[in-house]
């Protein structure tokens, strides 16, 4: 009897303990999914960023480092033919040699270089971009600003990845070229020179990452490549340029919304790569919708392990019925997170506020993919991802003014020009009478008036 009682007591004690252990284990799993990545100390890569030389330390010029990844800008024309605009080996020349050839660079900045890689932009993986972002942040611990050279094919994606992940508020300027370094009429040296000038000016501090080619400055979030060959290929539909780099000056005419949060915690992105490892970077893909598009693309990508999918839909983000059915199944069966964008090239897709399909605002599909990929690297919580998309991802302007806020602007003093007066024509009028109240005779006069629209003749 005593043994039975002891057994019952043991059950009463052990079963609750077992339940608590299971609950703790489940909480641990959930914590690992969403929060432990930020608590673990992943092994981070190291970079041999050059130190500032004694000469540069003593100089009054800004210190700019060029972080090179290759691309057309470092390309060598095939067969040493300077007319081979489209036939060349991307990522051939070293950035140190390219910078050494730039005339007049000592007028604008003290320039150092770091060769991160040397190949076409499409040859870099997301894991490589993880390293590139950390390398840029490491360089900005030493230098005033950074220029990152890349190929133009996926430049907008690389730039936006940097915009979302670089922690430093210092200027980051991405540039490249549409023609290789050694052909006639190349845009490569001019773009490199102008990017260094822009970075050294400091005018894009707090802007995040910007892209500069063809003397035009764009926000990384907004820019896209619009032509396969033209040197003025980059554009920002709906928004336009931030400013221009001209021969005498750098002119900024508008700022991205992020700059309005300068100096506040809200400026920083939620994606601190130092808190996660490369293994946390998930597979995220893009599916393009068209007339009677089949659902096989979504099913195949999910089978390959995609955790998130961006749809480039027709019009305001619509997708075919077959794609829609495949999307619903992927959400229900695999927990895949979707972001809706448009294939039109511009326009906003607004978020519904619920569900596993998030509105991508006016991000194009390539940009939305980067945003979703990084979001899924940090959490599986769809509501948190939605919040990131609708706040940091949307970047709409919000400015609050209260009675303690002083808004001012600098206005140049107007140049005073001499006032030129037209002569007054005086004609005597005999019919005019002298006023009775006047004791002194006054010569009566009358003045002819000239209509405002007619020229005055002396």
Among 83, 98, 70, CA closest to 155: 70
Six-digit token string for 205: 């501090």
Question: How far is the CA of 16 from the CAs of 6, 19, 21, 434, in angstroms?
Answer: 16, 5, 9, 118
CB atoms within 10 A of CB 286: 19
Report how far residue 155's alpha carbon sits from residue 115's, in angstroms, rounded to the nearest whole number.
17
Contact status, residue 218 vs residue 212, Cβ threshold 8 Å? yes
Contact partners, residue 312, CB within 8 Å, separation at least 6: 286, 287, 288, 289, 341, 342, 343, 364, 365
Active site residue 72: yes
Q: Taking phi first (over 0 means left), then psi (-120 to 50 degrees means alpha), and beta for anything else, what does residue 445 get?
A: beta
Output the DSSP codes for 228-260. SS-TT-EE-TTT--SEEE-SS-EEE----GGGG
Query: Quick check: helix, strand or coil at residue 309?
Result: strand
Among 203, 105, 104, 224, CA closest to 159: 224
Six-digit token string for 250: 């750098």
Report how far residue 264's alpha carbon sits from residue 399's, in angstroms, rounded to the nearest whole number.
13
Candidates 69, 72, 150, 342; catalytic one: 72
Contact status, residue 136 vs residue 162, Cβ threshold 8 Å? yes
Backbone angles phi, psi at 149, to 5 degrees: -100, 135
Instruction: Identify the bridge partners of residue 126 per DSSP, sorted by sequence position.
Output: none
Catalytic residues: 72
């Amino acid at each position: 009897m005593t043994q039975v009682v002891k057994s019952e007591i043991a059950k009463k004690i052990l079963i609750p303990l077992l339940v608590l252990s299971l609950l703790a284990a489940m909480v641990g799993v959930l914590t690992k999914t969403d929060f432990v990545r930020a608590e673990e100390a992943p092994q981070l890569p190291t970079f041999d960023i050059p130190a500032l030389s004694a000469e540069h330390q003593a100089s009054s010029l800004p210190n700019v480092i060029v972080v090179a990844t290759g691309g057309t800008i470092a390309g060598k024309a095939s067969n040493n033919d300077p007319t081979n605009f489209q036939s060349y080996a991307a990522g051939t020349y070293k950035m140190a040699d390219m910078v050494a050839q730039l005339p007049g660079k000592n007028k604008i900045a003290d320039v150092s270089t770091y060769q991160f890689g040397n190949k076409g932009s499409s040859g870099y993986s997301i894991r490589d971009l993880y390293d590139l972002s950390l390398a840029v942040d490491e360089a900005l611990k030493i230098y005033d600003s950074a220029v990152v050279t890349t190929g133009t094919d996926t430049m907008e994606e690389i730039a936006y990845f940097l915009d979302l992940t670089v922690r430093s508020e210092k200027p980051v300027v991405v540039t490249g070229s549409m023609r290789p370094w050694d052909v006639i009429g190349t845009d490569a040296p001019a773009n490199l020179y102008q990017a260094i000038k822009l970075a050294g000016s400091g005018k894009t501090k707090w802007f995040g990452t910007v892209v500069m080619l063809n003397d035009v400055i764009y926000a990384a979030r907004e820019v896209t490549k619009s032509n396969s060959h033209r040197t003025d290929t980059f554009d920002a539909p709906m928004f336009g340029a931030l400013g221009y780099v001209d021969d005498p000056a750098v002119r900024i005419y508008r700022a991205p919304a992020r700059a309005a949060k300068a100096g506040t915690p809200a400026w920083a992105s939620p994606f601190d790569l130092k808190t996660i490892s490369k293994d946390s970077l998930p597979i995220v893909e893009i599916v393009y919708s068209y007339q009677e598009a089949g659902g096989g693309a979504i099913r195949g990508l999910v089978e390959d392990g995609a955790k998130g999918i961006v749809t480039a839909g027709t019009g305001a983000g619509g997708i075919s019925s077959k794609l829609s059915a495949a999307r619903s199944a992927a959400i229900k069966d695999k927990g895949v997170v979707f972001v809706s964008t448009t294939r039109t090239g511009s326009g906003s897709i607004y978020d519904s506020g619920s569900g596993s399909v998030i509105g991508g605002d006016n991000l194009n599909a390539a940009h939305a993919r980067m945003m979703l990929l990084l979001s899924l690297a940090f959490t599986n919580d769809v509501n948190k991802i939605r919040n990131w998309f609708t706040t940091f991802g949307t970047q709409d302007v919000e400015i609050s003014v209260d009675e303690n806020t002083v808004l001012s602007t600098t206005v140049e003093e107007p140049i005073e020009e001499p006032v030129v007066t037209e002569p007054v024509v005086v004609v005597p009028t005999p019919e005019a009478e002298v006023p009775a109240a006047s004791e002194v005779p006054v010569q009566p006069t009358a003045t002819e008036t000239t209509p405002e629209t007619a020229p005055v003749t002396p």
